[in-house]
Structure 1
Amino acid sequence: MKRTIYVYHTNDVHSHFEYWPKISHFLWEQRQKHEKRNETMLLFDIGDFIDRFHPITEATRGKANVDLLNELHYDAVTIGNNEGITLDYNELDTLYENARFPVLVANLFKKDGTRPSWAHPYCIIPVSDTFRVGVIGATAYFTKSYELLGWKVATPFEILGDIAAEVKKQADLVILLSHLGINDDEKIAQTIPEIDIILGGHTHHLFPEGKRVHDTLLCAAGKYGKFVGIVKLEIEESDHTYEALATVVDVEGFPDSEKMRRTLALLEKQSLQKLESEQVAELKEDLPLQWFSPSPLAKLLASALREWCEAEIGMVNAGVLLEPLYKGTVTRKDLHRICPHPINPCKVQLRGAELKEIILQANTERMKYLEFKGFGFRGKVMGQMVYDGVELEMETGKDGYEHIRRITINGEPLNPDQLYDVATIDMFAIGHFYPQIQRAPKKEYYMPEFLRDVLAWKLADRK
């Protein structure tokens, strides 16, 4: 007897809810269609469904996101780094307390080596009396970040082989929900033959028709919910064989679910009201902001980082601040609006010669006007590097541009051989912008606080 299974998957939505009413309408429509045809429908999310750049996620710490997944009857999810390392321990530990689906993450543990009560390595879904689907979950292994937050995360290659073999004994088809990225997915496909299908994410890749690596089918649906992935499985139950066809659909032209649109509008209104009710400070004067010249708000953030990290120098790009702050009451809503990024403070030890290279590079027009996305940055442009504890003496060159003539650190000339503790942001420590920071052997990350939390602390302290 033949049976048809449709597997739908989303990944890396990152709280981009602009497409969610369309996804909702599409998936509800498909569910009704499959029920009429007596076809099985499975629905999975591959992680990074939450992102604290959005006020709904910020105000509810992701719990509203879980409610949205509940409404569409997801069968299982795994977590991404936005669930895993942008919430504090208790927030993640309680994130899924109202979830009506299993959370699958085989490589996450508490510090004592046991699994959290809400996380399971896999689940078995009986599609019929004779055919069962095994589903495993795995997430990106940001080992140090999880450790700082009170968790342990294992590399998937340590454990997935044994788990896949265990699941294969109980299931006819094994699916991996992988928030590991395309390179790890391909490696798993090459080394763990028990896994039949990998639904991928994390690196925001898109496979319009899937990709075969050995006998494993890799699937992925891009980012932000613009695409929904579909795997059509034609099952021959008599001998437990199957054929798989992978596609994606672009939801942009689909109609909205009006009910979901209203739900999101109400959630956003309530979330903004909650953030606005949390008062941080009372400003006696405006704090102006400029991206490409010195300004008080950017200078204040550099100073706050230096104090927070107990460093000799504070260093941050002005582009992480999106708007100025004005005289009067400052609330959590204001700080989230002007600094929405999931970026943490970081302290790095650099030699004077390395610090000089960074300062010179940061002063170039190319770096100031660099437009980019990623590494937690949710802004538009890098902007000028702003310092606390660093003084730059400038001169105008023959080319008409200002050039750095002299660098002093806390009143003393920069010593190329001296080690300096520099407070900055983790975006520079994990990104490729400044190799000197990325490859520095001594780094200290400060979690779970984001830049806006450090700014709130500094503003409150100024009272």
Structure 2
Amino acid sequence: MKPSHPPLHALWLLLLWLAMPLARANPQAEERHLVVLHTNDIHGQVLPRPAIWLKDVNPIPDSGGLPRLTAKLNELVAEARAAGASVVICDGGDWFQGTPEGQIGRGRSFLGALARAGHDGAVVGNHEFDHGLDVFLQHLKEVPMPALLANVRMPDGSPLPGTRDWILLERDGLRIALVGLLTTSTPSITHRATRDLLWTDPAEALARVRADLGDTVDLVIPVTHIGIEDDRALARAHPDLPLIVGGHSHTFLRTGVREGDTLIVQAGAKASVIGRVDLWLDEGGHVVRSEAQHVDLYGEPAAEFRNAEVDAACAALSAEAAERMDAVLGVFGGPLESSRRELTNSTSGNLITDLMRERSGADVAIHNRGGTRTTLAAGVCTRRDLFMLLPFDNHIEMLTMKGADVIELFRTSIEEERRSGVEFSGVTLEARLVEGKPKLVRVLLGGAQGRAIQPDETIRLATNSYMASGGDGWTLLAEQEVREVDFTLLRDMVEIAFESGPLMPSSEQRYSVIR
């Protein structure tokens, strides 16, 4: 009688079958973990600011500021490395313009502090050019900023001095390329010197860079200053990208958004939060999982994570700005609110354009909504408040225009979907909704009871120097030849107006919608 045990080959098969679950028990054992920390649109934010976006919180905490942001970056890096992850830090542009501290030395002093915050790569933003190309290039010559810019060239076709298309990093055996891309609308929204530069569509520039890099890298991460909608378009043009780190549109994407398989992230603005992306990659360097979150900046980080150089530089900036900026100028009798809503006026826009018209003696005054950057409560106003309201160095220009051009200007502001509208004084705009879209009917000079502007009459129109030079695509204004220039800055205009007493912003609605 034969033994009852199974044959030897059956035992081997049984052992192999039993071992398979063990091999599959930890499918992520070979995965590499990469943490991408990101900031964008810091805009010279040295000091913490009240977190007024929080609802039903009392007292409202302070949030952010460059010293706190830098310390938190250090803390997050330490935590990630302790957990076995590698770390990359990048920034989405617009570094210094937007605060009194950020304006010192035309941005040079703040840039020196930001360069110590620990970023591996930072894309150039449109506001870096606000003081002109030569000023910005001198900043880059003096400050070791890891500036990225792949889709903009000097007139001779060479890269902007101090910038590079990409920066190559190695983390845990991974070769990672950060590629910088800037919005091609920059020439219409910043200093006119940028109009002489050579601009390439971001998707085309990225295709060129990727072709140049070939298989020398495992992971390409675009770091962009083009805004969320153009980030989506970039993802559609390059659907194999696992991640786009964005800026420009000041969008708070708490957990990111997906365009196909691409994760798009952005961290709001003004050093309010830090973005964190966790990527898990397989042995071949392919991203198999990704998660995004924001890290809030309430409260002071532990002393061990603070950067003494950044703290000292920011303290010096704050002290230099404080004496002048904390001076009380006057009182607002009502709140200065902003608006991006269609066919509406804001109290801040009404006040600014009313003062422009009064100071210049113009028939009409207009102001771009993007030139007003915050809201202010009723009550005491400091010079810092005015700076936050009107941070750009725009002065008043008065143009002599034909009525037909004024009518066309307002028609464009109402009917073109890419426009966010303008603030204005001295006229009422009659509009009609046609299939839900606004159409200009008449421009009434002198308000709702005024008369219609005629195409062949002459109108004196005051505006800010940004719009007068063609900013925001207003080439119609740039083409006007007869103009008078008042070099008083808009914020100084408001300060001068306080000399006559408290200012009461008008809440008048200057659109008349025909139903």
TM-score bucket of the superposed structures, by smaller chain: 0.5 to 0.7
Displacement, 1:78?
A: 0.5
Matches within 5 A, 1:10-21: 10-16=39-45, 17-18=47-48, 19-20=64-65, 21=67
Which segment drifts farther, 267-276 or 163-172? 267-276
C-alpha distance in 1, partners of 2:42/2:35?
21
Relative to 1, partners in 2 of residues 1:102 and 1:156: Cα closer, same or farther, differing over 3 Å?
Answer: same
For 1:114-168, what per-residue CA distance to the aligned partner results, in whole angstroms no more than 9, with x for missing partners?
A: 222111111111224x420011001111234567215413332342211122234
C-alpha distance in 2, partners of 1:46/1:223?
10
C-alpha distance in 2, partners of 1:274/1:51?
18
Displacement, 1:218?
A: 1.4
For 1:409-439, what per-residue CA distance to the aligned partner results, in whole angstroms no more than 9, with x for missing partners?
A: xxxxx643346573413777899xxxxx988
Partner of 1:71: 116
Relative to 1, partners in 2 of residues 1:88 and 1:214: Cα closer, same or farther, differing over 3 Å?
Answer: same
Q: 2:178 matched to 1:135?
A: yes
Whichever residue aligns with residue 267 of structure 2, its letter is A
Whichever residue aligns with residue 10 of structure 1, its letter is T
Partner of 1:182: 228
C-alpha distance in 1, partners of 2:400/2:322?
39
Q: 2:192 matched to 1:148?
A: yes
C-alpha distance in 2, partners of 1:302/1:177?
42
RMSD over equivalenced CA pairs, Å = 5.1
Relative to 1, partners in 2 of residues 1:162 and 1:297: Cα closer, same or farther, differing over 3 Å?
Answer: closer
Relative to 1, partners in 2 of residues 1:418 and 1:440: Cα closer, same or farther, differing over 3 Å?
Answer: farther
Relative to 1, partners in 2 of residues 1:205 and 1:33: Cα closer, same or farther, differing over 3 Å?
Answer: same
Relative to 1, partners in 2 of residues 1:197 and 1:296: Cα closer, same or farther, differing over 3 Å?
Answer: closer
Query: Equivalent pairs: percent with the same residue?
Result: 21
Describe the SS at the equivalent of 1:95: helix
Displacement, 1:55?
A: 0.9
Whichever residue aligns with residue 352 of structure 1, its letter is G
Whichever residue aligns with residue 171 of structure 2, its letter is V
Q: Is the 8 A contact 2:276 2:295 kept in 1?
A: no
Partner of 1:315: 365
Matches within 5 A, 1:336-415: 336=387, 339-341=390-392, 343=394, 351-352=402-403, 355=406, 385=425, 403-405=448-450, 415=454
For 1:175-203, what per-residue CA distance to the aligned partner results, in whole angstroms no more than 9, with x for missing partners?
A: 00011111211111111246432101111
For 1:2-30, what per-residue CA distance to the aligned partner results, in whole angstroms no more than 9, with x for missing partners?
A: 43221100112223342024322321112
Partner of 2:296: 251
Q: 2:154 matched to 1:110?
A: yes
Partner of 2:273: 227
Structure 2 spans left out of the alignment, 5+ residues: 1-29, 49-63, 337-346, 378-382, 414-418, 428-443, 496-515
Q: 2:262 matched to 1:216?
A: yes
C-alpha distance in 2, partners of 1:318/1:442?
14
Q: 2:321 matched to 1:271?
A: yes
Partner of 1:283: none
- Structure with the greater alpha carbon radius of gyration: 2
Partner of 1:424: 463
Displacement, 1:57?
A: 1.1
Relative to 1, partners in 2 of residues 1:375 and 1:55: Cα closer, same or farther, differing over 3 Å?
Answer: farther
Describe the SS at the equivalent of 1:106: coil
Relative to 1, partners in 2 of residues 1:90 and 1:356: Cα closer, same or farther, differing over 3 Å?
Answer: closer
C-alpha distance in 1, partners of 2:420/2:205?
27
C-alpha distance in 2, partners of 1:144/1:358?
16
Q: Is the 8 A contact 2:396 2:489 kept in 1?
A: no
C-alpha distance in 1, partners of 2:76/2:357?
51
Q: Is the 8 A contact 2:124 2:225 kept in 1?
A: yes
Partner of 1:9: 38
C-alpha distance in 2, partners of 1:76/1:348?
43
Relative to 1, partners in 2 of residues 1:305 and 1:171: Cα closer, same or farther, differing over 3 Å?
Answer: farther
Whichever residue aligns with residue 264 of structure 2, its letter is L
- Residue-pair matches, total: 398
Of 18, 23, 31, 2:69 maps to 23
Partner of 2:103: 58
C-alpha distance in 2, partners of 1:111/1:57?
29
For 1:54-79, what per-residue CA distance to the aligned partner results, in whole angstroms no more than 9, with x for missing partners?
A: 11111122223323322221101002
Q: 2:135 matched to 1:91?
A: yes
C-alpha distance in 2, partners of 1:375/1:341?
18
Q: Is the 8 A contact 2:395 2:490 kept in 1?
A: no
For 1:201-227, what per-residue CA distance to the aligned partner results, in whole angstroms no more than 9, with x for missing partners?
A: 111223322333233221222222322
C-alpha distance in 2, partners of 1:296/1:31?
46
C-alpha distance in 1, partners of 2:384/2:297?
30
Describe the SS at the equivalent of 1:50: coil
C-alpha distance in 2, partners of 1:35/1:269?
36
Q: Is the 8 A contact 1:315 1:424 kept in 2?
A: yes
Task: Give the TM-score, by structure 1 length.
Answer: 0.68
Partner of 1:241: 286
Q: Is the 8 A contact 1:375 1:427 kept in 2?
A: no
Structure 1 spans left out of the alignment, 5+ residues: 277-285, 307-311, 324-331, 363-373, 395-402, 408-413, 432-436
Relative to 1, partners in 2 of residues 1:114 and 1:450: Cα closer, same or farther, differing over 3 Å?
Answer: farther
Displacement, 1:90?
A: 2.0
Partner of 2:506: none
C-alpha distance in 1, partners of 2:389/2:191?
29
Q: Is the 8 A contact 2:34 2:279 kept in 1?
A: yes
Describe the SS at the equivalent of 2:270: coil
C-alpha distance in 1, partners of 2:475/2:367?
22
C-alpha distance in 2, partners of 1:44/1:10?
7
C-alpha distance in 2, partners of 1:181/1:268?
30
Partner of 2:168: 124
Q: Is the 8 A contact 2:32 2:85 kept in 1?
A: yes
C-alpha distance in 1, partners of 2:420/2:391?
13
Relative to 1, partners in 2 of residues 1:317 and 1:176: Cα closer, same or farther, differing over 3 Å?
Answer: closer
